[in-house]
Amino acid sequence: MQIPKYTRREFCWHSGQALSLAAIASAITGCGGSSTSATSTLPNLPTINSSVSNGAITLTIDASSPLASTGSAALIATSSGNFLVSRAGDQFTALTAVCTHEGCVVSNFQSGTYECPCHGSQYSISGSVIKGPATRSLTTFVTSFANNVLTIRV
């Protein structure tokens, strides 16, 4: 077998191609996630689609609502953003659903714990960090509940 001879120009050109292909392959592999990405074991929250009017979200809480019983939680999706809502008796807590680590939507919940599906950060129903990598609490919003109508000021 004879090894081909290259001019300096051809050698540099072929080397550049090989390095470019290696860089592209590395970038494509990086887009697929990593072995350190979280895989949530907590179930997905039920989603309620709503709208914002005059700086508030209003939701009717009836027997068919995912928020009908104490201990429940839901993801509220609006054109102004996503919100996490949990219920304890007739008290509701509303939080931003934007993870403070890298901005993913927090969408998993079980037994009073919210979890971000991207990197596994966990938050209490009050929004404080239980487990990182997030280091900052979720933003809280004022709520009121009367006549089976929940109002969230955003």
Give kind and range of the element (H or E) at residue 8.
Answer: helix 8-31
Q: In the chain, what is the greatest distance between 2 CA atoms, to the nearest angstrom? A: 88
CB 153 within 8 A of CB 141: yes
d(CA 74, CA 76): 6
pLDDT (tens digit per residue) in 89-129: 999 999 999 999 988 999 999 999 999 999 999 999 999 99
| pLDDT reported for residue 136 | 96
Q: Give the tens place of pLDDT for each residue, 31-85.
A: 333 334 556 678 999 999 999 999 999 999 999 999 999 999 999 999 989 999 9
d(CA 16, CA 32): 25
Contact status, residue 19 vs residue 27, Cβ threshold 8 Å: no
Closest CA to 44 of 100, 134, 115: 115
Report DSSP state, residue 21: H
Domains and CATH numbers, the chain: 47-153 (2.102.10.10)
pTM here?
0.74
9 pLDDT higher than 50: yes
Tell me: pLDDT of 27 over 50.
no
Q: How far apart are CA 69 and CA 61, in angstroms?
A: 9
Say how far apart CA 81 and CA 76 lie, in whole Å: 8
**115 has which bridge partners?**
108, 122
